[in-house]
Structure 1
């Protein structure tokens, strides 16, 4: 099996796992990955993560031309923004996960550091997560908003919509977006309670030891 064939299979397996565990639903969500030749494989528009076909993934060449497979997700500007601004991005995943969407609809103290420091794992896997404002699905302005971050974020939260996470590999991106959803769920469970989050010194220690990107 070629490297691209393995990558096609992996994307579909990871997407199915996310779907089966309720992290996205219906025909929501999209996923992409960088191929060895610099092109992209992208989930098609209007497809379910539970039923992706490896042979029908949209294929782009290194110059960005659609050269095979079905028509890609309408969120291509969002995916391209991460590939173009973050060196080492090998995959991008966007979900409509319930708890993170719910948390995005509540008041927030700092949109540039939206996710609360409930556990060390979200900090280690995601760094800071920026809450972006609401955009109509498919609006190219979402990509512009990500580009405006100049590569400083591996993850953003689209208000009233869902999280988008970039990683070096498809598995890393999926692990990170799952951590984001789990942290959002914790935040909702603890809302209004005297919960003890990680303090500034503990966060700074994680950032230093793990060499985490932590720019404002």
Structure 2
């Protein structure tokens, strides 16, 4: 169901390092899961679209009122962007996201009877969605093995020497080669948590990191 990512070659040493990374993440974040609040696939889709260039905290603060007003695609399909904007104004890029939500709700009703499809290409075709959104929805709502590459996952993949790529699709392809398929969903959630709590972009806390013994960037002045 999920289209395979592009072909890439992983960095030297990545295959040796990958099991160490996975073991460290499993020890640190055994219950890693998405921090977006949702109860239905539709709510997860909406929350994921809203989370682009925004924090999960800001999304979770806005969605209770949004979902109370528009609990499903049928309800939201009758809304205009102007109806939705006041409910998500606290989230970055809210005007464009309001347009996308109104349009995607209509398409869900027209094409899928109001349901979020368990199909990668169908989700990607929705306004405001993309490969990352499809992977988040399919993995968390339907249990499909997928790796959603956001800024945290991409940054840590490079920092840990698992990928040299900057394109998210290429990072995804590298990680798929290195980790067991049954751990893909856990992997991207755990990497996100590690990126938020320990290996932050500007001030990575290497001293507190359980991966400092094998991270190739420990001691390197420039953090990327």
TM-score range, shorter chain: 0.3 to 0.5
Compare the two structures and name the one with the higher helix fraction.
2
Alignment TM-score, normalising by the size of structure 1: 0.33
TM-score (norm 2): 0.32
Structure with the largest fraction of strand:
1
Tell me: higher relative CO, structure 1 or 2? Use CA pairs within 8 A at least 6 residues apart. 2
